[in-house]
Chains A and B, each alone.
Chain A
Amino acid sequence: MSPLTELAELSRQFEAEAAEVADPAAWEELRIRWLGRKQGIVRARLAAFKEVPPEERRDYGQAVNRLKEQVESGLADLESRLTTAAVPVVEAVDVTLPGRRPMIGSIHPVSRVAADVVEIFDGLGYSVAEGPEIETDYYNFEALNFPPDHPARDTQDTFFLRDERLLRTHTSPVQIRTMKERRPPIRILCLGKTFRHDNDLRHSPMFHQVEGLAVAEGITFGHLKGTLYAFLKRLFGPETEVRLRPSFFPFTEPSAEVDVTCTFCHGDGCQTCSQTGWMEILGAGMVDPRVLEGCGIDPDRYSGFAFGMGLDRVAMNRYGIPNIRVLFDNDERLLRQVKR
């Protein structure tokens, strides 16, 4: 028999032997017989290479390799068939029975939105600044350019304490505290609880704000606009349109109300947006030079922008919560649905 014919015969022989294998022990025997390091058939054929006449060596080499591949893949197939079949059937399992889930908690919708905002601004190099919830008139109003007995204060119905202090009506006092402590460049977010003397379906006496502040040399109104575009498109989706229109806040000059396309009707007009297609989402502006000066920052050298947004309304919007009071019921049936 020529070496090549012999190889063809071996190939048939392997298939025949493999067909007989029924358990892992027989499989192991087969493997050693064919692929064993010392006496395996395949190894012996490989070693026989040098005995083949030179003119047949090329064909022989290829045929031996084919045999080797055939044995290897045959053994692998056999193995997977044997291991699958080897699992003994103990009882019929009704796999449609419910799985046992670990109890998973949830993070409050407002905290979720806050975390997203922080993440977005983290990428723009902002840090998060903190401040107390009980404030003085100075930090909550005076330093923010609300003069005493000014009607602008009427827009911020205030809870007063018995000792002349008050509950902050916005997170802006944190901006003042930061600007008094540090020199520009400053890029911060302030977020937390805020309080206003108001309680109905649309207003809660406690709510949450996030504010941003950037103060440096050469900050322009265009930078405010660019930052808000970047932020709001990340928060509400890239298709969101952003509109700034002039407004008034005592602590910014000029000021802007910022609208985004209504997240319910996408700008077509619906009940939520009073048919305008826009939702008022944020107030912003260039930091008033009086505010900078009051914090010891030279307004001729530095400029800055600031913006503020209610987190509760964004959360209600995102999760379809109809009424702000529902946010603070802490109904676990609702909270556990909030997954991201």
Chain B
Amino acid sequence: MEFSRNWLARYVELPDEVDELAAKLTAAGLAVEGLERRDGDVLMEVDVTTNRPDCMNHLGLAREVAVLFDRPLRPPAAELEESDEATADIVEIELSTPDCPEYVARVVRGIRVGPSPEWLRQQLEAIGQRSINNVVDITNFVLWETGQPIHAFDLDTLAGPKIEVRHARAGESLTTLDGERRELSTGVLVIADAERVVALAGIMGGSETEVSEATRDVLIESAHFDRTAVRLGARQLGMHTDASHRFERGGDPAACRTAADRVAELLAELAGGTVTGGALENPHPEYFGTFEGTVDLERLNAFAGVDYPRQRVEYYYRGLGFDPQPTGETGLRLTVPSWRYYDFWQRRESGEVWEADLFEEAMRMFGYDMIPAALPAIGPPDAGSSFAHRKRERIREALASCGYSEAINFAFGRRDADGLFPGLDPVGEPVEIANPLSEHYEVMRRSLLPNLLESARFNLRRGASTVRLFEIGNLFPGGEADEIEAVAVIAGGSSPTAWDRQEPVDLFEVKGVLESLFERFDGRLEVRPAEPSGFVVGSGCELLAEGAVVGYLGQIEEPESPFAVFAAELNAAALAEAEHPEPVRAPSRFPAISADITLTHAVDVPWSDLQKAIGEAGVEHLASFGLRARYAGEGVPAGAVNTTIYFLYNAADRSLTQEEVNESQALLTRELERRYGWQG
């Protein structure tokens, strides 16, 4: 929000250096974010937080300055000459809703609408407001002076003349000052005359009753409207104005009268008007109630961790309008001023304000700089567990060490892409975003893969010869089901140079990465052939851990890619971790003996069957075995394949003899040949 230094100086003597002013305001919670010197003035950009509507005007900001610099505040006091004609005889005011707890009306007759004097034009233009005519400029000036929104009606155009504050009725409409014709839904808070709606309360006036060059008599409205009522109305109509901005944040009910008087004074002075006798007021103080609270100085000091001088604490509260009254040894009874009601609004029911809310006022005036920094006594570590986080870190480290880079994608995506891959159990209807930014972000993801595939494409389009990405993130299975943390990988290609001796990524590389990931978590990955959607037929499989399906793996159909692309997704919960690492087995101190068997068998005999058969043969001292090579081609019958398996024998307590190993190998060869050997 923009403030003019010269305007501020109307109400308080300012320090010579504007930088000093800016620094103190910033330290007190009114952050000055920009200073622009121009035409003998300084435009100050101040970040006024939503709880401080009282500082969204020059007088309010001047009050803070006065307290911070120990200087008196000089609020403008309206000096009015009133005519004998009673305002009450001219216009009738009726409040038909509790949403208008205060309505002040004044009438000024015989004005001449014309250009504003130079000082007024300059003052408004300094904060970026366009000068329109003296009447509009005066209402605008008072808004930026006091924070109180003002509306001026052309009195002659008001039927009655009468003003009623009520909610809109079915079928009513209004053409607002901006020329828009607006159909009003019932419930919007409006100002009406005897016949029709003439203004949107707290938002904008209507064009039919607006002040024009022909206007002679004006009715000044200075009212307080319920902030929720204004907010709902502005929302329904899609409007946001200087007035609605303030009313939504809450104003100062006591300012209604002073601002009305101020406008009347200026209209008399600058537009040659005559102010009629008396203001019409309808105060409803019960709407606001009172807000009081007690600050105990010892508790304040303990809360802040500092020793504040009592006199200075009292000075600040007094200056800010909290009227401190001593109570007990160390207490101060405070009364919240009317311009700060809305900062304490949540205590309206009880009227008793929390001490922390009041502490803040003293603490911000002293500034946070004087509070010494200290660490709380450490004590034992927090009772919570960081397990889920640590686990995620270990997955990251594991996959990064396998050559994969971590991707982070949005948790939402396109509806049509979301169903491309199976997702993880349970899979329900996608969770839809009611107000998506675009069709790219309309449903919460049920699989990490669609967005991760997009990341792979991003790299492919930039000429990547290999892609290796992983992602850890939550899936949203739909309905009331809990979010599922998933891990996904996508990979393909290789270094293009022969020197690097890299093989292109294939299914078994990705599988091996997943196996080593499981191994890090003391788990074992198993697979089962399957046809998950989105994968090349015949390439896919389900991932199993402890017999349960936890994910899937396969080759993706990706026409954009010059190389085969493989992907997998699995439930992170499958990566369970024991509390303590498994103990290691001491390696044998005696030499091992290795031996191979080459078996010719039908291509459709799965390796897992051979593994099982070897296990079932139960040979002694077999430390490990594994696949050495697969070969099909010359010398191998069609439909068959040669599988060479290595075996490693080792005993813990002695050196094995070659004879023992030969015996075991003979047994294994017999068993494998008998069960799976090629029959021709």
Contact = CB atoms under 8 A, between A and B. Distances in A.
Query: How would you classify the secondary structure of chain A's contact residues: helix, strand, loop or mixed?
Result: mixed
A102 B404 CA distance: 11
B304 A221 contact: yes
Interface stretch (A27-35, A67-75, A253-261): A253-261
Contacts of A178: 384
A99 to B, nearest CB: 10
A332 B368 contact: no
A330 B464 CA distance: 13
A21 interface: no
A216 interface: yes
A330 B248 contact: no
Interface string A125-143: 1111110111000000000
Interface string B316-333: 000000000000000000
Interface in B439-474: 441, 444, 455, 458-459, 462, 464, 467-470, 473-474
A52 B495 CA distance: 76
A160 B396 contact: no
Contacts of B385: 127
A36 interface: no
B616 interface: no
A147 interface: yes
B173 interface: no
Given A126-B382, A155-B50, A161-B432, A274 B34 contact: yes
Nearest to A178: B384
A86 interface: no
A23 B303 CA distance: 83
A107 interface: yes
A245 B368 contact: yes
Nearest to A186: B382
A26 interface: no
Given A107-B400, A188-B382, A330 B303 contact: no
A199 B438 CA distance: 10
A331 B454 CA distance: 11
B3 interface: no
Contact of B376 (A102, A106, A223, A246): A223
B388 A128 contact: yes
Interface residues of A, number: 91
Contact of A133 (B52, B384, B411): B411
B347 to A, nearest CB: 9
A159 interface: yes
B101 to A, nearest CB: 17
A226 B373 contact: yes
Interface in B347-389: 354, 356-357, 359-360, 363-364, 368-369, 371-376, 378-386, 388-389
B26 A332 contact: no
B617 interface: no
A288 B355 CA distance: 10
A247 B376 CA distance: 23
A262 interface: no
B468 A127 contact: no
A105 B437 contact: no
A227 B376 CA distance: 8
A269 to B, nearest CB: 13
Given A105-B468, A247-B31, A335-B407, A221 B371 contact: yes
Interface in A53-100: 97-98, 100
B408 interface: yes
A100 to B, nearest CB: 6
A139 to B, nearest CB: 14
A107 B396 contact: yes
Interface string A180-203: 001001111001010101010000
Contacts of B531: none
B375 A161 contact: no
Contacts of A185: 379, 382
- Which among A111, A152, A228, A274 has the highest number of chain B CB atoms within 10 Å? A111
A43 interface: no
A222 B433 contact: no
A103 interface: yes
B405 interface: yes
A225 B374 contact: yes
B293 to A, nearest CB: 12
Nearest to A155: B50
B81 to A, nearest CB: 40
A221 B357 contact: no
B177 interface: no
A206 B50 contact: no
A182 B382 CA distance: 11
A290 B500 CA distance: 63
A333 B462 contact: yes
B397 A107 contact: yes
Contact of B459 (A102, A106, A331): A331
Contact of B411 (A145, A191, A195, A248): A195
- Which among A182, A188, A254, A327 has the highest number of chain B CB atoms within 10 Å? A254
A226 B378 CA distance: 12
B275 to A, nearest CB: 35
A328 B409 contact: yes
Contact of A246 (B28, B372, B378, B382): B28
A253 B356 contact: yes
A176 interface: no
A216 B411 contact: no
Given A134-B444, A151-B231, A223-B305, A125 B381 contact: yes
A197 B382 contact: no
A227 B374 CA distance: 7
B27 interface: yes
Contacts of A274: 33-34
A222 B50 contact: no
B411 A193 contact: yes
A335 B49 CA distance: 38
Contact of B248 (A110, A151, A188): A151
Contact of B406 (A107, A155, A247): A107
B637 interface: no
A332 to B, nearest CB: 5
B379 A118 contact: no
A172 interface: no
A256 B368 contact: yes
A254 B483 contact: no
A6 interface: no
Nearest to A221: B304
B310 interface: no
B378 to A, nearest CB: 5
Given A111-B396, A193-B411, A248-B50, A127 B500 contact: no
Nearest to B455: A330
Contact of A222 (B372, B380, B393): B372
Interface of B: 26-29, 31, 33-34, 49-52, 228, 231-232, 248-249, 302-306, 346, 354, 356-357, 359-360, 363-364, 368-369, 371-376, 378-386, 388-389, 393, 396-397, 399-412, 431-437, 441, 444, 455, 458-459, 462, 464, 467-470, 473-474, 476, 482-483, 499-502
15 contacts: A105-B400, A108-B405, A124-B375, A127-B382, A205-B437, A225-B371, A229-B373, A246-B27, A246-B363, A286-B356, A290-B346, A299-B354, A330-B408, A330-B458, A333-B459
The 8 closest A-B pairs by CB, nearest first: A222-B305, A246-B29, A103-B403, A254-B360, A248-B49, A220-B305, A127-B384, A246-B364
